[in-house]
Amino acid sequence: MGTIISKTGCYIPAFAVRNDEFLDNSFIDNDGNPFSKKNQEIIEKFSSITGIKERRYANNNHNTSDLATFAALKALEDDDVDKETIDYLIFSHNFGDTDFGSKQSGLMPSLASKVKSNLNIKNPNCVAYDLIFGCPGWLEGLIQAYNFIKAGAANKCLVIGAETLSRVVDKVDRDSMIFSDGAGAVIVEKSDSKNGVIGYKSVTYTDNNEIDILNFERSYDSKDENKYIKMKGRKVYEFALKKVPEAMKECLEKAKVNIDDIKKIFIHQANMKMDDAIVKRLYSLYNKKIPKNILPMNIQSLGNSSVATIPTLFDQVLKGKIMNHKLNKNDLIVFASVGAGMNVNAMVYKI
């Protein structure tokens, strides 16, 4: 018995925000002081490091659960998918539903229950719950779905990752340019195929002050008492560069898969420079050079939508929407992510 991703879908908001639209922002540092550099220079450096040229923001009347519903409908739109046979609806996000212009997040009822209602799923045995696991949340949901199916507790699961991070960014913080909105969804189900999930690794680190390097904290503006998504960029980079390759290597070893057989790596689209460095570090652990064209990316135009980045990218590659990247039957791929917690996970999957 195997566990496969049978259907995928994503929702990418239409509203694109280019880098030059931040030229008039009043950026300040974490001590509340303005930068000596002009915004043009700040933005150019930002783009050279992250690779981001633009990002997507949700329509003002759409919330995180709406984006998730749109992505789920894409995954369910084929006639052979009976939504009433879904055993678990697992929805990963980090900030709940935050209405445009509001400073409060809505977490009750769960967003998973909202999506189940939006999809008009009547079956009470379809258990819907939220998963908050930082940026690796969608992949952790996939891991949970795999284990439900492996244990005989489920035959089919819907796993969603969605965010509206544009609602929780501090506009005086340079890092606000990183974050974006979006949603991705997959149908995971039991299969007679030997393809699908081969192995995984999941870890949480809290023993060396990792708990604070991605957080929800006060604005850098002392007059603003609201909290926003905050990160210590250098520490996140150093943590990810060490821990993610380690988890990926252990995952490959547990799955008894040779790194030379991996065709693509789908890593959380956090920062282009960081993602490149993580993959290079992974191959250096095997004393190998990173192969060409192994790392598809969409961060350039979509930004960092946290839990939505991997399922969105995976859907786009499967459907031929990322230039020079495609997947074929029996290809071995790796999913990997890192984020607040600090959580890291990885999975080996056979198409």
* Given 126, 268, 298, 325, the catalytic residue: 268
173 and 247 both lie in a single domain: no
Residue at a domain's end among 192, 211, 245: 192
Tell me, yes or no, whether 237 and 286 share the same domain: yes
215, 61, 10, 260: CA torsion to nearest 10? -20
Task: Using the 3D structure, point to which of 192, 222, 250 is the last residue of a domain.
Answer: 192
Residues 34 and 48 in one domain: yes
Whichever domain contains 40, its CATH number is: 3.40.47.10
Which pLDDT band holds residue 78 (cuts at 50, 70, 90)? low
Q: Are residues 84 and 185 in the same domain?
A: yes
What distances in angstroms separate CA 32 from CA 25, 166, 177, 219, 305, one per listed residue? 14, 21, 18, 9, 26
Same domain, 238 and 330: yes
Assess whether 36 and 182 both reside in one domain.
yes
The model's pLDDT over 92-145, given as tens digits with 9 standing for 90+, comes to 999 999 998 887 788 889 999 999 999 999 999 999 999 999 999 999 999 999
Comparing 32 with 195, which gets the higher pLDDT? 195
> What tokens appear for 47 in the block?
């783009």
User: Taking all residues of the chain, what is their mean pLDDT, rounded to a whole number?
Assistant: 93
Cα-Cα-Cα-Cα dihedral of 314, 203, 249, 259, to 10°?
-20
Domain co-membership, 17 together with 125: yes
Q: Is 135 labeled as catalytic in the residue annotation?
A: yes
* Annotation says 251 is catalytic: no
Instruction: State yes or no: cis peptide before 297, omega within 30 of 0.
Output: no
Identify the domain boundary among 170, 192, 214.
Answer: 192
What domain range includes position 230? 197-350
Report the 10 Å Cβ neighbour count for 93: 31
Are both 207 and 162 inside the same structural domain? Answer: no
Tell me, yes or no, whether 212 and 187 share the same domain. Answer: no
- Rounded to whole angstroms, what are the CA distances from 55 to 50, 284, 310, 325? 12, 32, 15, 21
**Side-chain half-sphere of 269: how many Cα atoms within 13 Å?**
26
**Which is catalytic among the residues 10, 126, 135, 251?**
135
Q: Which of 74-78, 131-135, 192-196, 345-349 is predicted with the least confidence, judged by mean pLDDT?
A: 74-78
Query: Could you read off the pLDDT of 159-169 as tens digits, one per residue?
Result: 999 999 999 99
Distance separating alpha carbons of residues 298 and 278, to the nearest angstrom: 17
Domain identity same for 151 and 228: no
Give the tens place of pLDDT for each residue, 33-68.
Answer: 888 888 999 999 999 999 999 999 999 999 999 999
Q: Tell me what percent of the residues of the chain surpass a pLDDT of 70.
A: 99
218 and 158 in a common domain? no
Give residue 295's pLDDT: 96
Q: Are residues 291 and 144 in the same domain?
A: no
CB 89 within 8 A of CB 81: no
10 is catalytic: no
Nearest of 45, 318, 54 to residue 166 by alpha carbon: 54
CA distance 74 to 318: 14
Domains in the chain: how many in total? 2
